[in-house]
Structure 1
Amino acid sequence: MPTNYLFSSDVSKFQELIDLLPIAIFIKDTESKLLAINKACELQWGLSFKDLQGTDASQLFPPAQMEHFLAKDQEVFESGCQIDFEETMWNATLKQNRMVHTFKKPICDTSGKPLYLIGMFVDITERHMAEQRILEMATYDILTGLPNRALLKDRIERALEHGNRNRERVAVLFIDLDNFKVINDSLGHDVGDKLLQAVAARFVSIVRGEDTVARQGGDEFIVLLSNLESVFDAEAVAQKILNALQLHFLIDGKELHISGSIGISLFPDDGEDIWTLLRNSDIAMYHAKKNGRNNCEFFKPEMNRQAKERHSMEVALRNALKRDELLLHYQPIVNVNGGKADGFEVLLRWQRPGDGLIYPVKFIRLAEETGMIIPIGEWLMRQSCLQIKAWEKQGYEFPRLAINLSAIQFRQKTLVENIVRILDETGVTGHYLTLEITESELIEDVEETIKTLRQLSELGIEISIDDFGTGYSNLSFLKRYQINTLKIDRSFVRDIPDDPDDTAIIDAILVMAHALGLQVIAEGVENEQQLAYLALHGCTRFQGFYFSKPLPAIEIEKKRW
């Protein structure tokens, strides 16, 4: 309500009262001329009432601020009501603009007509800056200074509204840096963080000012492109990004190289809302990685179906262990001397309800990508040991079981510790086990690999190189590492004895293995001609359908290998 009393011509009464208050206070007439200001106003804002009395103070404040002050004064006089608001005000003492919260209230005569205006303002600059910092922390990525997911969401929504009104395309580019984890793990998180900052700056330099580069999290970035005339515009930007990543980064004196995989989704073609566009660009990025990395892929509806199938399989795989859907089959490794099995390879199967028996080729890669390979691998190791124990109790003379280890399992720091625990819990010794690993698993962190293989050997566990000759072949590892067996990959066995290239490779492997004192197993033996050639050239151990397909334990027991 307006205050209903006449402003006394004896200003000193008001002056004494307002001078007692610590907040800046002023009184104006209906023409916005100053009638009084208090001591706090003079001290805090560098004002002198002697110089300002009877003026609107336009000699002290910038024109834009004065225009705002006078407009607010008029609003009070015309409405007869109190108002409060935030505004910017020049502080002559500090010689800078400050953010203030201003209150203005009319002083009216007995009829309710406004005669004067009393106002006060509080400096809220520090509070405003703190709020801005909080807002920035909530909407900008601290590491790179890029918009984060929250601000990105707002930007995409605005872009879609604009695109919808003007019938323009919008593109969402989902970028994932390839093998960033290798740099982060090998050179440290400080170097990784600086690389992310440099990558972010490079991305920003490529796009237009109206576009948005945001950090999705980790080594993932989103680029939002608006006002596109053609899908080729999005592809051109994606190619610029890939080209920019080709140039090296100099971080702490180290020359670093990195590439990226980009998925592109378009509005309205691939989705009309933010979440659909983000999901579809993510799916397309996954396909870019799958197709060799360092490239871009546009989203296609078929990808969505595949993504749903993959998600469904992932959920089912996570439940497979709990629901006891995994099982083991065993394929004999036969010794030519006597034709008896002197080992079995353990092969994983998934009895998925509604889908029948699923082979590892369908789900092992997914298990590795999701981390499920670790619990599945431990389950396989434990079940194999339990099966050894069961056969031992039934009185079978039992040879070794060969168990495949993925690179992820082999690089586990707790690998040996976990195997020792399983052996202890099941009461099985390591002499019953062979671990099959691939050549590629031996090329990283040589010293740690030597240590792991030595520890496994001390447990009585033998090491076999699976698919020998198909991976990264550095023959020096055969001398340096404690390896017992080489397994000739089935791709070399398939066409012998007719293919001269395959026979030459097999001959070389056998000569080299025998010279180094290593055993050799030929995989994929399916006919008598293959067997005869291999035996004639000195191979004594074989595995393949010629002898037996992989069988469940009960079938193995019936055959009494």
Structure 2
Amino acid sequence: MIQGLSASGVLIGTGLGFFLTVLGVAGWQVNQRRRGKSQSLPTLPEAQSPAAERLREAEQRRLAATVFEAASEGIVILDPDYRMLAVNQAFSRFSGYAVEELVGRRVSELACSRDALRHFPVIQPVLEQQDRWQGELVETRKTGELYPQWLQLKVVRDDDGHISHIVAFVSDLSARRRSEARVRHLTHFDELTGLANRLLFKERLEEANQRARQGARNLALLYINLDRFKLLNDSLGSELADQVLHKVARRLTKALPEADTIARLSGDEFAVLFDSYASLTSLARVATRLLAKLGRPLMIEGHELVISASMGISLLPDSARDIATLVSQSNQAMLQAKHLGGGSFQFFSHSLQHSTLERLQLENQLRKAIAEQQLTVFYQPKMCLATGRMNGAEALVRWDHPQLGSVPPGDFIGLAEETGLIGPIGEFVLREACRQACQWQREGLAPIRVSVNLSVHQLRQGKLVSLVRQVLEESGLAPQYLELELTESQLLDSVESIISTFEQLHQLGVKLAIDDFGTGYSSLSYLKRFAVDYVKIDQTFIRGVGRCAEDEAITKAIIAMAHSLELMVVAEGVEEDVQLAFLKAQQCDEVQGYLISRPINAAALGDLLRSDVVFL
């Protein structure tokens, strides 16, 4: 209940004298309207009244008239038969009736008082006993529109105790109700997408859990995370990213009409609750259908975007016994789908839980490995085909775990990229490779070029150029003896930014290479724009040399194209003499692979440099 409104509260609090003043003004206004005269205040009779008393009464009438007309709440003066004697502008405004349409008419004659009339049997006894009543009604404007109204009635009695007037204070609660509805909506729904928010989702999940326990029903929870959304947000900006989220939400709603609740939990994370499901097969069909619909291209302000998502599905009671476990398991399954490359869904299983736990433990151990310097750098020699001598080496990180021994790079490099640990690992390899290359030169050995792999994470940080400059200065290595490699597929992450970064690195004198060439999707027009020096042919094509005519043709084409662009060509993964002979015949510039040497530690590579071995 609302316990008073501004203007009406003032009037009620001023006492009966003020009411009588208002009633006097109101009665005089009614008479003046009937006579067609102006509404200036009447002059008080002068008989036996001092001048000061006249001024005081005139001022009181003027104040009452001002409050009456200027009040933001409606004020209506009624006689004992509920005939309207005076109505102020506020009531006229929100009821839709002109003052002239109301004055002189009974309340019962007007549609704007229907709810009050329905409650009259309750209102009347209270008024007679307590001289006041207040409550909320739903009344009707002249247009027929319903609106919430707060009504306060005050009885005025004459000297004999009889009711002489009834004063009604009326407030239109429409704006207040809209505001309250807005607050309720924002409390339970996401403002951007209109989907249920985390709070409402949690409530719905609890309710569904109770129903499931009572009716032996099954719950299914889909946990959805958009793939590479942070990259999209960083590249296009938050406004366009918000448009993507809005359209994704619409696609979720249209694609899943059978879902009981669809919620946006935070950022690019969504959840879908099925209060019951028919079978695992039906859930798989739903997930497949949803992935297909999410994967259709989106047009956002001239940008064609393809959005994929990773989904995790958990079930109650099949895999989980309580709500907290259900949510945790669906999240684990989603992370597994993302780890497998995204754009897919995974059902939770206990083997998956074991795998997730192992990955969590490995992540913690990897963080410890970085801090405790368990990482080392090995080097795989590169041979110049023209001379047969080593002229470079690729720096490769290795992990010597105190208990597990040597951990294969394939077991932790992907994890490092997912967790952001690839940044400090990449910086460690860069610093160590530059330091070691300079150390070999100080020992009087022939200078060689050391190659260090870059990650997209390092490029996104925007500090790569300054880091490389700092490392070169600290190590004393000449820039031409450092080569940085980026895989072809990574070039499309942020083309313009990478081009700018490569140009700055090229100006430093650093050599640049595109690794795994032929496996990505970059066009030749992009290749011309990147300030690179080397192209590395992916080993999948080299393996086919001597066995597959198509792989040989692709390898020939890459070498010819690179040379036409005045780029050097390196073939990786060379393991057989027939491959080496083919590459030499095609005038490939450099090769690396097990036929030349496996990755070796710094000391072993130093011995190779001292021996000045000729591989051919």
Q: Same fold (TM over 0.5)?
A: yes
Select 1:474's aligned residue among 514, 523, 545.
Answer: 523
What's the CA shift string for 1:39-73, capped at 9, x where partnerless? 99xx86858582479xxx99967499959979xx9
Question: Contact 2:227/2:343 (CA < 8 Å) preserved in 1?
Answer: yes
Shift of 1:450: 3.9
Q: Which amino acid aligns with 2:80?
A: K
Q: Secondary structure at the match of 1:213?
A: strand
The structure-2 alpha-carbon separation of the partners of 1:45 and 1:264, relative to structure 1 and needing over 3 Å to count, comes to farther
Select the structure of larger CA radius of gyration: 2
Q: Which residue of 2 aligns with 1:197?
A: 246
Residue pairs, 1:130-209, within 5 angstroms = 133-181=182-230, 183-208=232-257
Q: Identify the match of residue 432 of structure 2 among 383, 397, 421.
A: 383
Change (3 A) 1:49 1:228: farther
SS in 1 for 2:275: strand
2:80 corresponds to which residue? 50
Q: Secondary structure at the match of 1:521?
A: strand
| Separation in 2, partners of 1:475, 1:458 | 22
Alignment match of 1:428 (pick from 448, 468, 477): 477
Partner of 1:36 in structure 2? none
What is the CA-CA distance between 1:352 and the residue it aligns to? Answer: 2.7
Contact 1:206–1:240 under 8 Å retained in 2: yes
Contact 1:153-1:274 within 8 A present in 2 as well: no
Cα distance change on mapping 1:204 and 1:491 into 2, 3 Å: closer
The reply on whether 1:364 has 2:413 as its aligned counterpart is: yes
Structure 2 residue corresponding to 1:221, chosen from 255, 265, 270? 270
Residue 405 (structure 1) aligns with: 454
Q: Which amino acid aligns with 1:153?
A: K
Aligned equivalent of 2:501: 452
Give the TM-score normalised by structure 1.
0.74
Change (3 A) 1:121 1:237: farther
Amino acid at match of 1:520: V
The amino acid of 2:202's aligned partner reads K
Aligned residues of 2:295 and 2:307 also touching (Cα < 8 A): yes
Inter-partner Cα distance in structure 1 for 2:17 and 2:258: 54
Tell me if structure 2 keeps the 8 A contact 1:47–1:92: no
Q: Which of 455, 463, 467 is the aligned partner of 1:418?
A: 467
Hey, what's the Cα distance between the residues in 1 that align with 2:224 and 2:588? 50
CA apart distance, 1:164: 0.9
1:266 corresponding residue in structure 2? 315
- How do residues 323-342 of structure 1 correspond to structure 2 at under 5 angstroms? 323-336=372-385, 339-342=388-391
What is the CA distance between 1:393 and its match in structure 2? 3.6
**SS of aligned partner of 1:526:** coil
Q: Give the equivalent residue in structure 1 for 2:593.
A: 544
For the 8 Å contact 2:454–2:486, the answer to whether it is kept is yes
In the TM superposition, residue 190 of structure 1 has moved relative to its aligned partner by 2.2
SS at match of 1:363: helix
**1:371-414 CA distance string (max 9 Å, x none):** 22222222221222222333344333331111111233345533
After TM superposition, give the deviation of residue 360 of structure 1 in Å: 2.4
- Given that 2:380 and 2:592 are in contact with CA atoms closer than 8 Å, whether structure 1 keeps it comes out as yes
Structure 2 counterpart of 1:279, which letter? Answer: S
What amino acid sits opposite 2:370 in the alignment?
Answer: L
Contact 1:46 1:93 in 2 (8 A): no
Q: Does the residue aligned with 2:392 lie in a helix, a strand or coil?
A: strand
User: Structure 2 vs 1, CA of residues 17 and 305 (structure 1 numbering), >3 Å: closer, same or farther?
Assistant: farther
- Report the alpha carbon displacement of residue 288 of structure 1 after superposing the two structures with TM: 3.9
**2:276 match: secondary structure:** strand
CA distance in 2, matches of 1:195, 1:372: 29
Distance (whole Å) between structure 2 residues aligned to residue 69 and residue 292 of structure 1: 70
**Letter aligned with residue 484 of structure 1:** D
Identify the structure with the greater helix proportion. 2
* Residues 62 and 227 of structure 1, relative CA distance in 2, 3 Å threshold: farther
Q: Work out the CA distance in 2 between the residues paired with 1:276 and 1:98.
A: 45
Matching residue's letter, 1:389: C
Instruction: Tell whether the 8 Å contact from 2:377 to 2:601 is kept in structure 1 after alignment.
Output: yes
CA distance in 2, matches of 1:501, 1:513: 18
Distance 1:61 1:266, change over 3 A: farther
Q: Note the alpha carbon deviations across 1:219-275, whole angstroms, 9 max, x for none.
A: 221111213344455445435534543566565577655344432222111213222
User: How many residue pairs end up in the alignment?
Assistant: 499
1:292/1:557 Cα in 2 relative to 1: closer, same or farther (>3 Å)? closer
SS at match of 1:391: helix
Counterparts of 1:197 and 1:216, CA distance in 2? 14
Match of 2:163 in 1: none
Residue of structure 2 in register with 1:307 after alignment: 356
State which of 325, 346, 356 in structure 2 corresponds to 1:276.
Answer: 325
Corresponding residue for 2:514?
A: 465
Bigger drift between 344-353 and 544-553 goes to: 544-553
The yes-or-no answer on 1:298 pairing with 2:328 is no
Deviation of 1:480 after TM superposition, in Å, equals 4.2
Counterparts of 2:347 and 2:314, CA distance in 1: 6
Change beyond 3 A, Cα 1:273–1:124: farther
Normalising by structure 2, we get a TM-score of 0.68
Corresponding residue number in structure 1 for 2:23: none
Residues in 2 aligned to 1:499 and 1:313: alpha-carbon distance in whole angstroms: 40
Give the drift of 1:156: 0.3
Query: Partner of 1:175: helix, strand, or coil?
Result: strand
Question: Using a 3 Å threshold, how does the CA distance of structure 1 residues 129 and 273 change in structure 2: closer, same or farther?
Answer: farther
**What displacement does 1:499 show?**
4.2
Distance 1:398 1:262 in 2: 51
Describe the SS at the equivalent of 1:228.
coil
Does residue 346 (structure 1) correspond to residue 395 (structure 2)? The answer is yes
Partners of 1:525 and 1:538 in 2: CA distance: 15
Map of 2:614 onto structure 1 = none
DSSP-derived class of the 2:450 partner: strand
Show CA shifts across 1:431-473 (max 9, x none).
2201122223345655544433332222221122222333336
Indicate conservation of the 8 Å contact 1:169/1:230, yes or no. Answer: no
SS of the residue 2:399 aligns to: strand
Instruction: Give the gaps of 5 or more residues in structure 2.
Output: 1-14, 21-66, 84-106, 127-133, 153-168, 611-616
Q: CA deviation at 1:515?
A: 4.6
Q: Distance in 2 between matches of 1:273 and 1:68?
A: 53
Change over 3 Å in CA distance of 1:64–1:509 after alignment to 2: farther
Q: Which runs of 5+ in 1 are unaligned?
A: 1-14, 21-38, 74-85, 103-119
Residue 546 of structure 2: SS of its match in structure 1? coil
**Whole-angstrom distance in 2 between the partners of 1:47 and 1:232:** 71
The answer to whether the Cα contact below 8 Å between 2:489 and 2:519 also exists between their aligned partners in 1 is no
Q: Is the 8 A contact 1:405 1:437 kept in 2?
A: yes
